[in-house]
Chains A and B, each alone.
Chain A
Amino acid sequence: MNYQPSGHDFVVENPAQQKFFVNREVFVSPDVFEREKRAIFDRCWVYVGHGSELKNPGDFKTRPVAGRPVIFCRDREGTVRALINCCRHRGALVCREREGNARQFYCMYHGWTYHPDGRLKSVPGEDAYGGTFDKSEMGLVPVPRLEHYRDFYFANFDAEAVDLATYLGKAKDYIDLVIDQSPSGRMQIISGTQEYDIRANWKLLVENSVDDYHLVSTHSTWLNYMRNSGVNVTPPKGELLPTRGFGKDLGNGHLTTDNPNYRGRPVAKWISVYGEDAKADIDAMRNELVARLGSARAARVADTNRNLAIFPNLVINDGSSVTVRHFYPVAPDRMHVTAWALGPVEETEAQRARRLHAFLTFYGPGGFATPDDVAALEAAQLGFAAWREVPWSDLSRGMGKARDEQLATDEGHLRVFWRKWNEMMEGRP
């Protein structure tokens, strides 16, 4: 692509005119793509994985984190680590499997071997190195920072970054709402990974994940399915959606929707899709929530749906199922998405099956909704070929309203993302 920067501001906000525009150059520009790597992905806390993925000492998963090959593993003492998957000798991957259990990581190039905690274990022909060779300084390099909040592990490539808890701020409350679904406070990633590419800029998926304005037009076939299954999805007169929800600014670029539930929840709101025989079970789960959390908190957990976006690229959808989804740009016009289902560790077989069934009806590359989101994002990316002639994306919905009146069908929460993105790209703290 013969790219010439336009020199325009990327994000233009005019409160007096109630206008908020994003220049579509940000979706096509190779310069922006390169700058995002440094200004955003190397400075933010980015999701690595969940502790439940590493059940036993020695368990590992290899995955890219902010563009680096990383081994996410639990060492022999039980400590979770994120080691850069790159031999200290000549740089080859020391683990070429997707997942497994390792006693050691063995570089197949020259046979250097590392402990699962990263320490260098053995070097063939070590006597050929001079007297300054110190094995204790030649272990696998850990990511500069690795911290977790309630088993969600994040890395930061900026050693000076604020701690994760401060970074997450109010988003922690919404993670807590997810975890409160488990009687023991323990959620787990369920086996089975959905990994797929979208031929669109990664920022479009942040918008799409929390944008309730698109539901009726993009997902009418899913709404039909719900209707055919006996669920009332007809919006009240004057409303765009079956229930009136809000879009919220959680600070630090994090945001969420917060909607009264109408689409059912495995924990614990029965709808007809689940079948009559599930009713008693879901009622019992509801009673457990009330007994443990009190009726107000139980209602907060079980009667609201929240699509939470943690800046820059992690989305937790807590609704008809719980999804954990993150995505990386691999080019200005392409992203790689990884998604998992999350559920309480206590779930019975029937409860787990119900959760997975509900997940697949809406979400994922074979769901009744996600493929249409992908189609929408790819259609937008194709349209952006005309970014010079039709330069501005409009995110002005709700601009005239107060902060706490922003509906989930407005774009106030999308603007939260864009303001933070712009701030970081301009190098402001």
Chain B
Amino acid sequence: MLTFTIRRMLTSIPTLLFISIVIFGLLQLAPGDPMAQVPLTVPPEVKQKMREALGLGAPVYIQYLKWLNQFFIVEPQFLIDWMTRDSFLFGWLPDTQFSMVYDPELEKLVTQQRNISWQTRSPIMDIVIQRIPQTLWVVGLAYIVGILIALPIGIYSAYRHYSVFDQAGTFITMVGFSIPPFFTGPLLIVIFSVTLGWLPSIYDTTHVVNDWASFKYQLSQMILPVMVLALQTTAQISRYMRASMLDNLNQDYVRTARAKGLKEGVVVMVHVLRNSMIPVITVIALGVPSIFGGAIITENVFGVNGIGQLLITALFANDIPMVMTITFIFAIMIVVFNLIADVLYGVLDPRIRYD
């Protein structure tokens, strides 16, 4: 299992390189000049200097390697420095200063050049790290809520196969599967915040939770986006759960368990459920990155100030470094969660041996 994991991790390196080439190539091929916004009064030689300062004069492969270097070597150094300097967990360690380089002109340590956003002129990773908690709160919570709703629905509709509950459940999951989030979002806003006036329609990211009333407000503003995202998750996962339970309920070991006099609850909730969870858990792991991608729309509808919103605004502002970084972060998440799903499958199911 360990050798499989290591081999699998090694094979994901070329995958990541391929994706990085696709992202980089797409943005290289694309028309559009980052200097287009510079006023016409700026003389051409100054423009040329600005171009070189942005690294646009260098050959394409140099630009690509520099980008990779920034992403995989420089940014982690800053992360380690931040952890040993400011974070609670590792703050007791001596300050590492990996990200500092010696500048012979100034004769002291200066921080390295970081990948900056063309919109805000600040390091991209800092902005991304500010935005990620917003996304995680809404999307992550929605995913958990969706799973918690989906599992009992799936279990019960498989157990009572072809019952009214099963028919209704299948229909509702099909509907949830088919209605896109950019319709459920406005629909729920019309119902719950316009007509009924129960919940706020816009997610206020600056809201600080410090007492009971503000906590209640935070809860109420999270309900709508979480519901929209959870509907999608529920629909997908309960379908898988139901199919997987149905497969297992007809197995011989279930009859054996019943024959030796186990209670029905034990048979279903212990024997069948544990075996049915194996494929479902991998599906859950595989769904994590796609839910982040899908959250782009939900964040847009509710005005959640998350990473998806950041991607959209960066795209419209032609902020290419930011777009590359966020897209690549999404890609890394897909690769990592694919790896996790593969390994989990092997760990959970003893019948599967990769070696």
**A and B from one complex:** no
